[in-house]
């Protein structure tokens, strides 16, 4: 039987506010346990929440970026359940009246599938703390620093039909929130976490299959792998005559399997009701329009502009626009070097390679956009060759400094003086009788390929600094003269 996969995502995005959603405690990552959990965050008796204006602003920015209706009236509700990382015994969240209503984003997978994914809504809520499972005499430790960090939970419709689409959607959301600057996008630190609702149904069937929810997936790669694994499990199960049970499952990347989370599975009755400690959040058109004015260029628009303004391929434009710091970096390099295509090749090539190898975010690149632009200028004006440029780049990465400083210090300036090149060419030819004879004996149309040897010898003699174009010309001219 042919199966169709149906996927919806719930993405939790931690907003990069300075303080918690309802208290004045810092949200900085990595502090000592419970040093950023104030009386409100610990739910001390008598404490009360007050809403962070920046969390509201950021949620509205997100809504505008995904073409959504903004809730002019939104209401915080309490979701009641007991868990040690939830100090109040309820999570303050939004249900009936969220801040962001229905919207959509357009996605495209690597293999060219395009789709519009509808957003059901996005709401504001508070994050929970963390349970640490190192053994404290058989006990768990609770760190509430994260408790109260503002989240936007983005709930999609079940519009995705493959794990690739799900990953592309998650990447798009990542691109949007990082472009907006409302989230640092650091998935390893949990700044963006995905729950995937996955079901399968026979192709052509209207009715949805029973879904399972895969919790807390924190990389794009794992989204694909977790969904693929779960889809295979569901299909095997059904084909073996079994039934999918609606449940929450945890993806284990080490074993590449999903497993049931029984402890959270108990039928929950969250007893939602409007939080009486908070009042309805009311905003008007002027508030919304003022925020719209401040929106940066969004990834889709930037991608289009990269295509039209810099004549980039759709692929290159897509990659470069997906992450705002990268797009900003690229544009600076392009402007600095005056060569958009060369800039794209370097940002996606050599720079990306070094960033990857060193697990470095482009924001922290030791080679700045200005410096890379400066390097490309030296390729363009023939001061150095592309190959030498890679060497210069490596030195810039490792030691710092501008391209010009390194070219100067290392004496890498390209030799373009034809007199000097001619002298070296003459020496090479004089010392390669055998190869010269072969050259002379060859059919004229095959001689071009034989230049490589001589080229290599010249480069060797100049330490790679000779301008390759000039060398080729002179070599050809001198060798061909010998043939006449």
Partner 1 sequence: MFDKTLAELAQGLERGDYSSTELTQAYLQRINMLDSQYNSFITVTEEQALAQAKAADEARAAGNSGALCGLPIAHKDLFCTQGVRTSSASKMLDNFISPYDATIVSRLKNAGTVTLGKLNMDEFAMGSSNESSFYGPARNPWNTDCVPGGSSGGSAAAVAARLTPAATGSDTGGSIRQPAALCGITGLKPTYGRVSRYGMIAFASSLDQAGPMAQTAEDCGMILNAMAGFDPMDSTSAERDMEDYTAELNKPLAGLKIGLPKEYFSAALDAGVAEQVRNAVAEFEKLGATVKEVSLPNTELSIPAYYIIAPAEASSNLSRFDGVRYGYRCDNPVDLEDLYKRSRGEGFGTEVKRRIMVGAYALSAGYYDAYYNKAQQIRRMIQQDFVAVLNDVDVIMGPTTPHPAFKLGEKSSDPVSMYMEDIFTLSLNLAGLPGISVPCGQTNGLPVGLQIIGSYFAESKLLNIAHQFQQATDWHKQIPAGVEV
Partner 2 sequence: MSLDRSDVEQIAHLARLQIDAADIDSYSDSLNSILSLVDQMQATNTEGVEPLAHPLDAVQRLRADEVTETNQREALQAVAPATEEGLFLVPKVIE
Q: Is residue 39 within the footprint of partner 2 (CB under 8 A)? A: yes
Interatomic CA distance for residues 13 and 190, integer angstroms: 9
Query: 119-148 mask for partner 1 (x: CB under 8 A)?
Result: -----------------------x------
Which residue in 21, 43, 170, 342 binds partner 1 (CB under 8 A)?
A: 43
Whether residue 332 contacts residue 369, with contact meaning beta carbons closer than 8 Å, is answered with yes
Interatomic CA distance for residues 321 and 317, integer angstroms: 6
Interatomic CA distance for residues 424 and 462, integer angstroms: 8
Of the candidate spans 137-145, 162-170, 288-296, 328-336, the one that interacts with partner 2 by CB under 8 A turns out to be 137-145
Of the candidate spans 134-142, 154-162, 163-171, 345-353, the one that interacts with partner 2 by CB under 8 A turns out to be 134-142
HSE value, Cβ hemisphere, 13 Å, CA-based, for 180: 28
Which residue in 50, 420, 482, 483 binds partner 2 (CB under 8 A)?
A: 50
Tokens in use for 201? Answer: 């149904």
Q: Is residue 26 within the footprint of partner 2 (CB under 8 A)? A: yes
Single out the residue of 281, 283, 328, 335 nearest to residue 302, CA to CA. 328
User: Scanning residues 46 to 75, which ones bind partner 1 (CB under 8 A)?
Assistant: 46-51
Q: Is residue 44 within the footprint of partner 1 (CB under 8 A)? A: yes
Tokens in use for 328? Answer: 């900003």
User: Scanning residues 82 to 101, which ones bind partner 1 (CB under 8 A)?
Assistant: 82, 84, 87-90
- Work out how close the CB of 28 gets to partner 2 at its nearest, in angstroms, rounded to a whole number: 9
In Å, how far are 421, 422, 481 from 427, measured between CA atoms?
10, 9, 15
Got the DSSP string for 76-138? EEEEE---TT-TTSEEEEESSS-SB-SEEEEEE-TT--EEEEEEEEEEEEEPP-EEEEEEETT
Single out the residue of 158, 188, 163, 183 nearest to residue 173, CA to CA. 183
Find which of partner 2, partner 1, none residue 36 binds, CB within 5 to 8 Å per kind: partner 2
Find which of partner 2, partner 1, none residue 133 binds, CB within 5 to 8 Å per kind: partner 2
Nearer to partner 2, 136 or 203 (CB): 136
Q: Is residue 315 within the footprint of partner 1 (CB under 8 A)? A: no
Where do runs of H (alpha helix) occur along 258-313? Answer: 285-294, 299-310
Point out which residues bind partner 1 (CB under 8 A).
39, 42-51, 78, 80, 82, 84, 87-90, 142, 269, 271-273, 276-279
Summarize as ranges the residues that interact with partner 2 (CB under 8 A): 17-19, 23-26, 32-40, 42, 44, 50-56, 82, 84-85, 131-133, 136, 138-144, 250, 261, 263-264, 269, 271, 274, 276, 278-282
């Amino acid at each position: 039987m042919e199966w169709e996969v149906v996927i919806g995502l719930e993405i939790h995005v931690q907003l990069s506010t300075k303080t918690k959603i309802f208290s004045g405690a810092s949200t900085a990552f990595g502090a000592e346990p419970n040093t950023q959990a104030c009386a409100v965050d610990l739910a001390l008796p008598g404490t009360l929440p007050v809403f962070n204006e920046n969390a509201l602003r950021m949620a509205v920015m997100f809504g505008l970026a995904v073409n959504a209706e903004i809730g002019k009236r939104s209401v915080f509700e309490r979701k009641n359940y007991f868990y040690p990382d939830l100090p109040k015994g309820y999570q303050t969240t939004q249900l009936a009246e969220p801040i962001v209503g229905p919207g959509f984003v357009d996605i495209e997978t690597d293999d060219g599938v395009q789709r519009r994914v509808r957003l059901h809504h996005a709401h504001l809520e508070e994050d929970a703390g963390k349970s640490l499972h190192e053994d404290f005499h058989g006990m768990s430790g609770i760190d509430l620093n994260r408790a109260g960090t503002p989240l936007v939970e983005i709930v999609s419709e079940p519009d995705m039909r493959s794990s690739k689409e799900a990953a592309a959607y998650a990447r798009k959301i990542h691109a949007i929130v990082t472009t907006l600057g409302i989230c640092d996008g650091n998935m390893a630190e949990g700044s963006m976490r995905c729950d995937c609702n996955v079901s399968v149904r026979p192709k052509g069937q209207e009715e949805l299959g029973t879904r399972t929810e895969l919790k807390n997936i924190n990389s794009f790669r794992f989204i694909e792998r977790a969904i693929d694994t779960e889809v295979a499990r569901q299909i095997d199960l059904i084909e073996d005559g079994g039934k999918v049970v609606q449940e929450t499952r945890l993806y284990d990347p080490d074993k590449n399997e999903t497993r049931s989370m029984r402890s959270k599975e108990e039928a929950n009755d969250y007893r939602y009701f409007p939080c009486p400690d908070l009042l309805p959040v009311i905003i008007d058109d002027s508030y919304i329009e003022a925020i719209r004015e401040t929106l940066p260029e969004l990834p889709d628009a930037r991608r289009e502009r990269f295509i039209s303004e810099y004549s980039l391929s759709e692929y290159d434009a897509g990659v470069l626009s997906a992450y705002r710091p990268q797009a900003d970096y690229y544009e600076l390099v392009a402007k600095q070097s005056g060569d958009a295509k060369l800039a794209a090749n370097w940002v996606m090539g050599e720079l990306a390679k070094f960033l990857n190898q060193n697990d470095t975010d482009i924001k922290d690149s030791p080679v700045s956009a200005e410096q890379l632009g400066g390097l490309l200028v030296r390729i363009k004006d023939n001061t150095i060759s592309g190959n030498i440029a890679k060497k210069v780049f490596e030195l810039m990465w490792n030691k710092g400094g501008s391209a010009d400083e390194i070219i100067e210090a290392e004496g890498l300036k390209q030799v373009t003086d034809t007199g000097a090149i001619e002298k070296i060419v003459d020496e090479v030819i004089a010392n390669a009788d055998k190869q010269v004879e072969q050259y002379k004996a060859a059919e004229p149309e095959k001689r071009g390929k034989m230049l490589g040897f001589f080229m290599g010898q010249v480069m060797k003699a100049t330490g790679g600094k000779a301008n390759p174009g000039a060398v080729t010309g002179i070599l050809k001219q001198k060798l061909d003269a010998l043939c006449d």
